[in-house]
Amino acid sequence: MFTGIVVDRGTVRRVRGRGVVTLQIESGEIARDLRLGESVAVNGVCLTATSTGRRRFEVEVMGETLERSTIASLKRGSNVNLELAMRLNERLGGHLVQGHVDGIATVTRIEDDDGARRVWFSASEELLGYMVAKGSVTLDGVSLTIVEVGHTTFQVALIPHTLEVTTLGHLEVTTKVNVEVDILAKYVERLMARS
């Protein structure tokens, strides 16, 4: 489990393999604390550390994850949002995030708003069905509040801090992001279907 509060922005240093792809990621802050076999969220995708060091770590990514997320588009030099799994004795600063990507959304519009930024994303009807205004969503591992939900799009607002410390500060129209909807919405749907 994660919180969607990005701790560090890492840089992909190496991508190798077919089928199962190994990513080597440089990140001083995360690499120092990460232990072999532990979970780490990379752009919101829960992955397992297969090698650790003082400044770099490696994760392996299987085919299904590559198909369902934006991880397949990462290359040497790509920046990624990073978060270690939460500890049960810590504050829940964002919301409950599993690191299981539900789909991909695409940036359709960006507007600056007095130092902040409003961003609109197109998404599938299936994803939008789990979203509500003032609800939570995770985009590339960042816990955010939804501003509004339309028929084919949703909007979030990004404060200057988020723009500075995450990869969301570099979004452009047509950029694709990993989306994880609020787990509570999925449980409610499941319970209602059984009624």
CA atoms of 84 and 30, how far apart (whole Å): 7
Tell the burial category of 1 from Cβ atoms under 10 Å away from its Cβ (0-12, 13-18, 19+): middle
Average pLDDT, the chain: 94
Q: Give the pLDDT mean for 26-48.
A: 95
What is the longest distance spanned by two Cα atoms in the chain? 52
Contact (CB, 8 A) for 140 and 183: no
Q: Residue 128 pLDDT > 80, yes or no?
A: yes
Cβ neighbours for 22, distance < 8 A, ≥ 6 positions apart: 14, 15, 16, 50, 58, 59, 60, 61
Q: Note the pLDDT of residue 183.
A: 87
Query: pLDDT exceeding 90 applies to what percent of the chain?
Result: 85
> Do 78 and 118 form a contact (C-beta atoms < 8 A)?
no
78-93 residue pLDDT tens: 999 999 999 887 777 7
pLDDT computed for residue 91 by the predictor: 77
The single residue listed with the structure tokens 């449980």 is 187
Q: Residue 120 in contact with residue 109, Cβ under 8 Å? A: yes
What was the pLDDT predicted at 194?
A: 81
Domains parsed from the chain with CATH numbers: 8-84 (2.40.30.20), 103-194 (2.40.30.20)
What pLDDT was estimated at residue 9? Answer: 96
* Of residues 161, 174, 84, the one with CA closest to residue 117: 161
Work out the burial of residue 101: count CB atoms within 10 Å of its CB; fewer than 13 is exposed, 13-18 middle, 19 or more buried: buried
Q: How far apart (Å, rounded) are the C-alpha atoms in residues 134 and 141?
A: 18
